[in-house]
Chains A and B, each alone.
Chain A
């Protein structure tokens, strides 16, 4: 038999002025199972709490109902009080008779009547409450960072700095990401390599950091604090432990005509290569698509010249399994493919380039050694046209609806650098809007216009047509002057929209994290939890979450690291006990619950059940991982058999409240 105590708070006059608290206490005292019903001036005060605690002990209460302010205010207060008096904290229910009663009603009679009904509903619910205990789940003190660009490197460094082991998984042969390809950075114009490469070295030398380059995540199991990840180390046909990075093989390899992806295909590399001089790890990789030895067994030059004996043509993909407490996603971005944009002649005119290609063309380590030359005839361009928003802010279905955010600034940077280095070059920028919010950003853009006389023209480029004389006719509209323009250009630079890396989508599936329709990872809360995913223990760093420049990326990377450190610091995590649970005897194993779970908390097992006549049957049944479940209850409604229920908000509890209200 239940022994329920009811405690009605006056809240000074906040409740007592419009609700006859004595009448409420009196009426609720007659409800079934209620053994004590009291009112008090301030139930949340120490003496009020003591009233509750003493009643729990004295009357051996099995449940407590406090009629007071919103549970959002003091549910925890009274739960703690109950716990200290030896009553399970989840046997406390709050009837909200202040915010949802006394404060909104003026008529004492109807407010009192409503308060009694709300009290009855809480009593009806508490009759069905069950003691709940929070589960503890241990935390593996190691983090995984997926992606080794500036975001991943920064996150890894920060986590390592806090004393935790970190692994970086990078799909390319070297870490560094997009930032390694960039020439100068806005708005300070310092060289990207000069600020990035020391960080890459720092990461490689930090004993807490392990870099898995040329590797991919192939499987993720587990949950917050306890992920098991399988990392696929792709065969690079070079023993990383032996290779000294001397680069001799990359000079002797006879296969010279391999498009160099690091230079955006603007020059060639060998079949065995190190992407760039400062690569980390500085280890050669053999490209099996071009290596003669791997393709038809004829060559072997690299193996002959390698004094370290590092070349291993027999190498195969290896799989490493490791446990992690936290995972940070830093998969970054890529410029979109421009094959749908025929009007810009990108696919057939070599002098129409993307901004990232221009970075390489201008980079001292790039194909031209830092001298800006036209890719077609290696002559110096005198007129350059920049086209903004190529594929950004598009509604036509060809491009992206969002603003890529970084293009306005890097174009101003490009324009300025070109005008600085080659003052005889005319630079035109066609834009929809110039968007330069950010510290020292607008000043930077204005310098391009005012000091460097870059011609900014509001309007879109309609057509880019290569001419027979090698020049390029750029047809555009000047919206402010209201006229059509033809510019006789030498080069055209397209600010291609950026999009999340293609590896992000399958990764999101493995991690059971959410993505938006553009394949950017969705943060747990757009304002208040910007670096956490909705899946506990998975954090977001850099452009995988949305377009970002370098300062923002680094800031977010450190923020993600801080969140991961906050998790790794704990020996165990306390789980919310108000989670879903499945009754195996009723479960059909139909997978409906799994489909609506935003956290991937539900898994299935084949279990043997006893059946009539001493037989057994194997059935597929759901089980909920209480460490992962956040208690939303979506599964409970998806479940047709009613096998799935939610602690603290069970079907019968809610139905009891409904009955009490409608009675």
Chain B
């Protein structure tokens, strides 16, 4: 596949406040570079991420959506990420079933101590989406920037 080097995918990352958002902060503190395409939205827990948010992001032109939460068993709210895991697994499976490229969606567990993991996950994800090219299958054309 032809990879368009000039294509800068829009990536929305939902990060839980207690682990992944802190992990993202740590990768900053450690000056670990990852692509500027990634824009983080802070949520209290990964279980706050409603499938509607993910679809909305795609509708408004995101090329990839990633959710980051505490490792299973480490949820600040004890069980939130377990619910996330089921919901998001099923949602991603449905998107795949509808023919949406599976590498546009991702769920990762990143702890507050894993700054390096956060950076490498983002690096990898952006590169995967870069290869896929712009999101055509799920974008709402009306909302596209002229």
Contacts and interface: CB of A to CB of B under 8 A. Distances in A.
A632 B77 contact: yes
Interface in A629-663: 630-634, 636-638, 646, 649, 651, 654-655, 657-659, 661-663
Contacts of A267: none
Given A99-B25, A637-B87, 14 more contacts: A99-B26, A104-B36, A105-B33, A110-B36, A111-B36, A514-B79, A630-B77, A632-B80, A637-B50, A649-B48, A658-B53, A661-B62, A662-B12, A662-B62
B44 interface: yes
Contacts of A661: 10, 12, 39, 41, 57, 62
B119 interface: yes
A534 interface: yes
A103 interface: yes
A602 to B, nearest CB: 14
Describe A's contact surface by its main secondary structure: helix
A101 B27 CA distance: 10
B45 A634 contact: yes
Interface residues of A, number: 46
Q: Which of A113, A118, A522, A637 has the most CB of B within 10 A?
A: A637
A534 B78 contact: yes
Interface string B16-53: 01000110111111011110100111111101111111
B72 to A, nearest CB: 13
A70 interface: yes
B80 A99 contact: no
A107 B24 contact: no
Interface of B: 10, 12, 17, 21-22, 24-29, 31-34, 36, 39-45, 47-53, 56-57, 60-62, 76-80, 83, 87, 119, 145
A534 B24 CA distance: 26
A663 B52 CA distance: 17
Contacts of A587: none
Given A103-B28, A103-B29, A658-B57, A637 B49 contact: yes
Given A99-B29, A114-B39, A636 B34 contact: no
A99 B23 CA distance: 10
Contacts of A655: 52-53, 56
Contact of A96 (B40, B77, B145): B40
A104 B56 contact: no
Nearest to A125: B41
Contacts of A421: none
Given A634-B80, A646-B48, A654 B41 contact: yes
Contacts of A106: 33
Contact of B145 (A522, A657, A663): A663
Q: Which of B31, B32, B60, B78 has the most chain A CB atoms closer than 10 A to its own CB? A: B78
